[in-house]
Structure formats: structure tokens, C-alpha cells
A = this chain, B = another copy of it.
Amino acid sequence: MDLSGSSIKLTREQRFLEIIKEICSENLIGDDCAALPSGQIFSSDMLIEGKHFLLPQMSYQDLGWKSMAVNLSDIAAMAGIPRYALVNIGLPGSISDNEFSELYEALHGCASEFGARIIGGDLCASEQLVISVTVIGDAPDSGAMYRSGAQADDYILVTGDFGASALGLEEILKGEKADASHSYALHRHLRPQPKIKEAAWLASVCSSAGALMDCSDGLADALIQVAALSNVGIEIDADAIPVAESVKERAAKLGLDYLQLALYGGEDYELLAAVNPECWKKLKLLPDFKTIGRVKNGSAVVLKRAIDGTAELLESSKTFQHWKS
């Protein structure tokens, strides 16, 4: 297996990102958010009907919540505190006043729950529903945390559990009603909870030393990103990856491998952190953080399975992409 950069065919998104970096010569581009020296951090994400969500399979309440939550999660990914949000919506003519109210109440409700105020935005007509949210936050006193801060011997911690959101999506695609109360997996897919508080704790305990990101595109993608940007390798214990029992059971019934869902499924919006042994001693006492591996010298991101002693390289080609057209 050849993992050298030059031989990997870049995805379209990666090629376009390279173009952007070349045009802007901007070192703020490339992490979850842009963090200014002033301590302000900015996140901006767009969700498009048919690409990121399906209507009418998803309710306007869930859609509004999720559109805000994924942006707040980017702020959490740098240990930031969300303050303000701007919301641009492209609306098809078919949306009623009631549906619009449901959508906007959920956007506002999610922002409020995590301490942010919607202060503006734009409405316009569109064939598909488009929701573009910008969140403005403040870095913690100890500074924003980046993907690039991992060092050899750091411990790899995660919040929450993995694979549930991807399973929820599978259920929706199989025709399950997209109702967050129907199952844990559906709840996790439709109502992601940005880990603002957990990220703030972690930054406080570690004085922002280490690496942090959110797992919006899956655990494997996050591990690969942190390793690449920190110039380190990572070794993960497959058995230590938290996966809910109900997800394991349901995945088995659907003939799905829960570990594949956990690694490559995406949209869990949990935190992945690399922290030094001193911080780790404090953080491992908190139930919110689970240890799943260690940072190593080198560049390989390896998954070890104790049960059969095997080790496999995690593959970026399998990582979750919204970029499917």
C-alpha cells in the first residue's frame, strides 16, 4: 500500500481547496474554523437539499437544529465559545409559513441552547432548500486548539460514541421514518449535540496544548487529518472505540459492520483530541472522554485489533464525504 502524497488521486474537493490556498496564500484556511490573532473564531458551512439532507424524509425542526449544530461543532472543534450566528436561506416556493417557522425556530433554539444569538442573514428564492450558517465565537483564554498540535506519546481521546449517525442515515435510506424519537441512531443523526462544553473543559485542563477537531466526516478521517497536519502517526485500539450497544445490534441485523460505520460513517460530531500524558491523567477521570489510542512517531494511522492481533492502515479513500454529486 502506497500512502505517499503524490500517488494519491486528490478528490475534487481537495483539488479545489488547493486552488483556494494558492489564490489566497492564507494560513487561516484549512482547520475547522478560521481563528484570528484577536481570539475570534469563525465557522461557515452550507447544507444543500439532496446533498446533505433529504426532504420530506427529514423534518424542518431537525433540519434547522442540525444546520446550526454542525457549525457550532466546528467552533467546539477549536475549543471556542459560540457567540453569534448569521443564517442565509435559499427557499423553494413550496415552503409554507409554518414550515419556515419550524425551520427557523429550530435554528434559533439550537443556537440559544449553546449560547449563540442569530444576528442576521439573508433570505432568497432557490430551487432547492439551501442553508448557509456562519458562527462567530471566541477562543478560550488559553487559545484556540488546532488539528496540528499532536505530538508523539500523546493520548488519543474521544467524546461520545461512533457509528450511530451513519446507522441512522442507513435507516432513513431504507425507508425508516426520520423521527429522532424512534431510535438512538436516528436521534444521533438528526439531532447532533455540539460538544462545546467538553471542548472548553479539555482546553482548560490542557491550557490548549495538544490537538483537537470534530469528527464530522468520520473518526477515521479525523485521525488521518490530525496525523497528517501534526506530522505524526497514530495507533488506535479497535476495541476501545466507543460504539453504543444498540448500534452494534441494529448494525448486525442490517448486515452492516459496526466498526466500519464508526470509522467511516461520519456525522457523529464528536471530539477527537490528542493530549500529553500529564493532561491525560486529569482528563481520563472525566466520564466524557474515552481513551482510544496513542500518538506515535512516523506517519501511519494504524488500527489494531487485540482479538486477532491484526493491524490495518486507515484509508482516506474510504472516509465519509458530503462531496457526492
Q: Which residues of A contact B (CB under 8 A)?
A: 13, 15-17, 19-20, 23-24, 26, 28-29, 33-34, 36, 42-48, 50-52, 84, 86-93, 97, 100-101, 104-105, 108, 117-128, 130, 132, 134, 136, 322-325
Contacts and interface: CB of A to CB of B under 8 A. Distances in A.
21 contacts: A24-B108, A24-B118, A26-B119, A28-B120, A29-B119, A34-B120, A36-B119, A42-B86, A42-B136, A45-B88, A46-B90, A46-B122, A48-B124, A50-B127, A90-B130, A91-B325, A122-B132, A125-B322, A125-B323, A127-B128, A132-B132
A19 B120 contact: no
A15 B124 contact: no
B134 A104 contact: no
B42 A123 contact: no
A136 B120 CA distance: 12
A81 to B, nearest CB: 15
A130 B91 CA distance: 12
A97 B15 contact: yes
B127 A127 contact: yes
Given A130-B130, A134-B86, A136-B42, A323 B48 contact: no
Contact of A51 (B33, B45, B126, B136): B126
A32 to B, nearest CB: 9
